[in-house]
Structures are given as structure tokens and as C-alpha cells.
Amino acid sequence: MDAVSVIRAKRDRGELTAHQIDWVVDAYTRGEVADEQMSALAMAILLNGMTEAETGRWTDAMIASGERMDFSGLTRPTADKHSTGGVGDKITLPLAPLVAACGVAVPQLSGRGLGHTGGTLDKLESIPGWRAALSTGEMLGVLESVGAVICAAGDGLAPADRKLYALRDVTGTVESIPLIASSIMSKKIAEGTGALVLDVKVGSGAFMRDLADARELARTMVALGTGHGVRTVALLTDMSAPLGRTAGNALEVRESVEVLAGGGPADVVTLTLALAREMLAAAGADAKDPADALADGSAMDVWRRMITAQGGDPDAALPTARETHTVTAPASGVLTRLDAYAVGVAAWRLGAGRSRKEDPVQAAAGLELHAKPGDPVREGAPLLTLHTDTPERFPYALQALTAAIDIAPEPTAYDRPPIIIDRIDTQDTRTPHTP
């Protein structure tokens, strides 16, 4: 077997054989296939696609490149959630303790942010003392004793994907549905969860701006999970505007704690409850309504224990930015658009995100939104507050926001888009892949 024949086969729109896929993924992971050869293959896949059988085999090969975790020794069923990423998407923070409070264990292996979307670990690291890196033993200990753990994925899970994702990032080959689906699902299947709920975001702040592409990605991932024995369901959710009223690390932790205390913005609460219900149903343990666990304080109790178990102080004051700048409404009327991508770029430029994976992030940087699409606004009233420790960043953040806002004069018929657009279950997928 040689790399050039595999590249030529895909370049010429052929279907790769199982043997070709197993070989090329393994040889690339071992360094026998060079980066330039894998980039050519990734580009051929991006342009010519992969069949369902190829995508399934590619996923198997990436799983086989590393270790698999095993939660079968736990006393409770497990369920996990994966979001394809968006602006202000802090849902994992209230969701993991909420689902645990309802009797299902949540092993949430999360990542850091890159570009305009934030990362769950960056958000939690704004809590003084909180530690993302746990050994497998520590992780299982927190999961068994608290019921939920959010920590960094170890290097042993799907190492082929780590290498390939870094390559795709710098070769313009991220936006391929079979490559995205196999990348996400190889990590989730190797992680060993029994049930998985996917939050596939659609809109300007998401990977998938187009509903048809998001639906195709969701279907592909649900088929992959189901074919590997993981009960998998996907929700397609709106990412045309940021989720909630904050984007930025400590700001989003504060908002998540408000949700756990029974308050918080309506869209964050609605999505958290919908995903919690899906996770509990997928794990076969939906006896308790998650709304009750928010109301009776049991989800907050799990949050406090989860943060404490990882060295954090749930009572410590969160960092606040040294400088703020308020943007006011340029006119009175109804806010009809607050672009998620623009807000994500502004938060990133204020210091909440990173351009390279080794860059530091500012815990306190980000934006507060004083109005959401559909809300009435008054000329001169605060619309956004920008936060940063480095005020020389304000002009760059403001530049990202120049075309982010539309205000229509009242009265305006404005239809607020629903936060949950659709649900994709096994019956919506084509023939599931059998590994």
C-alpha cells in the first residue's frame, strides 16, 4: 500500500476500500504518511466526499489509533453531550450537574476554544483553583462520587484525530461533513459514553451556517453513533444570535450559576432543559424532571461538589475586567439582528479567545448583551458592554461589531427564531454503519 495510490483513488472520485482507509489512518498516525500527503487526501475528501461506509470505516480507524475508556464499572448509566460550537454556548456548565442530579453520570471530556467560539475548559478555568487536567483514575473518582466531571480529554483518545484536525485547520479542509462527523464521533465513541446527545448549531456563529448542511452533519453523526452501539440523538439549534446574554469566560460562568440558581436567560434555560431531557431519555433514566432539579437546588449542589472536587472554590469571586466600554443603541425600535459571529469575533479580540492553541486567554474578557433580538431598544440606552484587561483592544472589537446590529422602527412584526429548530433521531438516518 502507498499513499499516492490512496490519494489518486479519492482524487478520481473512487470509493476507498476498508484496507486503504485502515492503512492510511494508521500510517499517518505513525508518521509514515507525510503531512503533505494527508493534506492532499483531506482536500480530495473535502471536494469529492465519502460514502457512508467510508465515513464509518474512517471513524473506526481513528478510534483504533488510541485507547478506549470504559465506564461499565459505574453504578449509574452515562450520557454525554457534544456541541458543534457557538458563541455564548455555556450550556455544558449547568447541564452536566443538572443531568447528574437526575441520576445519570456525565463524563464530559471538553476542549479549549479556538477562534471565535469559546471552550468549556477556558470558561471553568476562570474559577479560582479549578483544574482541567485529571488522571483517568481521578476522573472516574469524581464521576462516581459526584456524578459529573468536566475535564480535558487525555492524549490517548483518538490520537489520529488530534494530528489530522491540526492539519485540517491549516490546510482549509475543516469544512467537510464526513471529516467533521468522523472527528467528533471517533472521540465520543472512544470516550465510552452509553448515550450521546449532539447539539448541532446552525447560523452565523456556527460551523454550519446552512440548515441543510447542519441536518446532513447531524444525520451522519447520529448514524455513526447508533452503528457503534451508542444511543445518539441530535438537536439542531439556532446560532444566528449569541446564546444567553454573555460571551466570555468568567461572564459565562456567572450566567451558568444564575441558571443553576433557578434564574438566567430564557434561551439558555430552554436549551439546557431540552438537552437534559434528551440525555436522560437516551440513558433510559427519565424518572425525574430536570426542571425540578433546577428549582429544588439539587443541580446547584452537584455543581458545587463538582467544582470543589477539581480544586475550585465555588464561593470565590470571579475575575472582573480592569476596563469596560459601553455601546449604546443608535436608534429606538426593535432589535432585529445581533450577529453571533460578530459578537464571537469581538469577544475573541477582547482577549476571551485565542488564535493559536498555545495562546493564553483573559478570564474576565468578553461581552454582556443588554438586549436580544426581539427586544425593544431606546436610542442612547446601553446595548452591549465590552470587558477587557487590555483597553487597546477596544477599537478592534468595536470594528468587528460595526455591521452586527439591525434595529427596526416600531411597530415591527419580528418573529424570534425558535432556539430548537429540529430533532434528528435514528429513524431519520440512512442505513446505520456496522463496524
Residues that bind ligand URA in the complex, under the rule CB under 6 A: 165, 174, 179-180, 183-184
Name the helix (H) or strand (E) containing 92: helix 92-101
Q: From the DSSP assignment, how many helices (H) and strands (E) are in the chain?
A: 16, 13
Asked whether 188 and 80 are in contact (CB, 8 A), the reply is yes
Asked if 426 and 232 count as a contact pair (C-beta separation under 8 A), the reply is: yes
Catalytic-labelled residue, pool 83, 176, 183, 204: 183
* Distance of closest approach, residue 264 Cβ to ligand URA, in angstroms: 26
Taking the C-alpha atoms of residue 322 and residue 345, their distance in angstroms, rounded to an integer, is 20
Tell me, yes or no, if 183 is annotated catalytic: yes
Nearer residue to ligand URA within complex by CB, 29 or 183? 183
Nearer to ligand URA, 174 or 261 (CB): 174
- Output the smallest distance, CB 198 to ligand URA, in A: 11
Grouping H, G, I as helix, E, B as strand and the rest as coil, residue 109 is: strand
Q: Is 199 a catalytic residue?
A: no
Residue 369 beta carbon to ligand URA: minimum distance, rounded to whole angstroms: 25
Question: 444564575: which residue's cell?
Answer: 258
Catalytic residue, chosen from 10, 187, 219, 387, is 187
* Active-site pick, 82, 90, 112, 387: 82
Q: 168, 245, 325, 433: which is the annotated catalytic residue?
A: 168
Catalytic residue among 161, 199, 238, 267: 161
> By beta-carbon distance, which residue lies closest to ligand URA?
183
Strand partners, 423: 235
Instruction: Return the number of the residue (152 or 291) whose C-beta is nearest ligand URA.
Output: 152
Q: How far is the CB of 174 from ligand URA (least distance, A)?
A: 6
Q: How far is the CB of 108 from ligand URA (least distance, A)?
A: 14
Shorter beta-carbon distance to ligand URA: residue 119 or 242: 119
Looking at the Cβ atoms of 27 and 200, the one nearer to ligand URA is 200
Contact (CB, 8 A) for 191 and 154: no
Specify whether the CB–CB gap between 62 and 183 falls below 8 A: yes
Active-site residue, 168 included: yes
Contact of 113 with 361, CB cutoff 8 Å: yes
Give burial (CB, 10 Å; 0-12/13-18/19+) of 358: exposed
Residue closer to ligand URA, measured from CB, 184 or 384: 184
Whole-number minimum distance, CB 55 to ligand URA, in Å? 12
Question: Which C-beta is closer to ligand URA: that of 69 or that of 371?
Answer: 69
370 is catalytic: no
- Enumerate the β-bridge partners of residue 237: 201, 420
Taking each helix axis as running N to C, give the angle between helix 18-29 and helix 159-169, from 0 to 180 degrees, rounded to the nearest 10.
80
How far is it, in rounded angstroms, from Cα 385 to Cα 370? Answer: 8
Q: Is 205 helix (H, G, I), strand (E, B) or coil?
A: coil
Q: How far is the CB of 355 from ligand URA (least distance, A)?
A: 17
Alpha-helical segments (H) within 198-248: 211-227
Question: Which are the contacts of 415, defined by CB distance < 8 A and separation ≥ 6?
Answer: none
User: Shortest approach of ligand URA to residue 158 CB, angstroms?
Assistant: 9
Q: Which of 268, 271, 236, 238 is nearest to 251 (CA)?
A: 268
Identity of the residue, 96 or 181, whose beta carbon is nearer to ligand URA in the bound complex: 181
Cβ atoms of 199 and 84 closer than 8 Å: yes
Q: Please identify every residue annotated as catalytic.
A: 82, 161, 168, 183, 187
